[in-house]
Structure 1
């Protein structure tokens, strides 16, 4: 009988990693069980956390304080292996882990070691690094409960999905309304032709800003100026927001991006200026987080190809390529040569090199197109160069 001794949930601390729609529901139910809930989510605002009744914390603090940890985040380059050996070492002895989100969020070998040592008292897993999971090193462990990815396998869920699909098809056939389309914008055929190059620009601006955003978003302001104001800009706004949110949320698309932003209390501000400025057409995205405000702007040249024309209001013109390096530094002699030498030693060929600065001796930005991705060692080497403030590898 002693083998089945458990623990009570009331007064225990639940750590929620990823506090979006599902994470928020898990938090709400845990609060109903009289648990204390702490949450880590870079996109969770303080206001939203207060509304949910949870305490927003950084990941390390969550790992140190939680009695139970549940994961509700997509699998991205940032979240892959978020619970690894280093993370387990920071946890309380006897912590319990639940993962019904995505396989790959947990380093399964590190989890096995933590289970064997008693660091982790138990784990409940519905997802695995390799699926279908016919074999796994965690199968058969006396402190592990597994299910074969059954998260949505209820009669009610299947009925709800079927009803939703039928309603949306009826809306389209009767009224022409398109809802939850994953592979097409909600625009007419005529608009699509004119919007196409602007969609590429909007996607690049959103993705650029999103990859550089590391804290909870509060406001996204999108300014349209010149020729673009004659078009239906609503799809463009959705694409910008999609690009901003996608680095941390793989379920965001053009259709649901604005709804996801609203759910997370992110204000979307859209402004239009008919008069032309320095460019015939111009889109500027300004992102405000809990810690800073950052902006990026772009245009279409005569060939309809998108160009970045300013970053943080620093003039800098470039085309975005698949692999790029963003470097913020102090404008002092020797930087360009040192950066080129460092990339050369790493075997990275420079395709284009764009520079801009706020003023002589002030903040400067380099946007470097390289022929392959920069690894962590190269990024660390660039970051250690004199006068460098920030380094980020970007992909488009």
Structure 2
């Protein structure tokens, strides 16, 4: 009888694993249906994430939740409701949607941790998700390109001459998928330096090709830094020499093959970089003009809200009045929206999670890389696609058994 109950419990957890597993498929379908996706209105992507939240809360009710998590989550939601009340305006629904995305990864983390404590969610499930995503995410990009049904990374007039540059598949935001590809590259590099096999080489080529295809300078920089870091890490290990040679050959062959197949696309990417470098200068070019938005936005915040604005934020207001868009640097966007109090609520949760579990090999490194990417490029803590992925990465900190020696 008891064995039967445990089996049924595991079956219900498989539902959650499946919901997470289909992430790249659902977001690609969302983009296909909505012509690139719609993050602010009711869409397949929003409905999909709403289902994840409902199932998560169901697990909380059935299997229980740690009291500390419950107190934290209730306090966070109370603060967010107050923030909405204070900063109520014409874009209230957009702000509500934004806050929903902000809370989503936290809900996923709490759910997986609660299930793990009941021995219903194991490390193997995370490994299954990461191994699957290493194939599925690149496939959604590469197949869309081959079929001619995707979207350019830059094709809305932001490129030189309004040209279409790069390729992001059917995904809504290129920075979201760029962040995921960065972490998957770190993951597959970690695998390939442990064991070289036809599968790991294939996964590596898939992820690297997807990265090159997108045409994002930030993505290229992260890929280069990760590669250098791994090569330096195993510099003194003679047993790794063969793997390093194979990896180096894979990188060179991948780049050469990519250049031969996508010469026109590469030329367009380089021309776009040259155009914006000459137009904006080095710092603005490297930050994609994000740095230019900081001074006027914070000046507006202090002028209109004073110390209260610094503590509690301005909600969604700064995106309409000052710059007509986000800063696109998560740390500053969260401070502008929720103030220092909200910043402590959100970042405090993640930092504490890391500090309590920082000896986990891959996931601790992935978390630090996440902080770097979210601060420099944004689109991690407050976006739908990155949010689900972030929830799984942070869950790996909690339940992974692989520790640093």
| TM-score (normalised: structure 2) | 0.28
Higher relative contact order (CA 8 A, sep 6+): 2
The structure where strand makes up a greater share of residues is 1
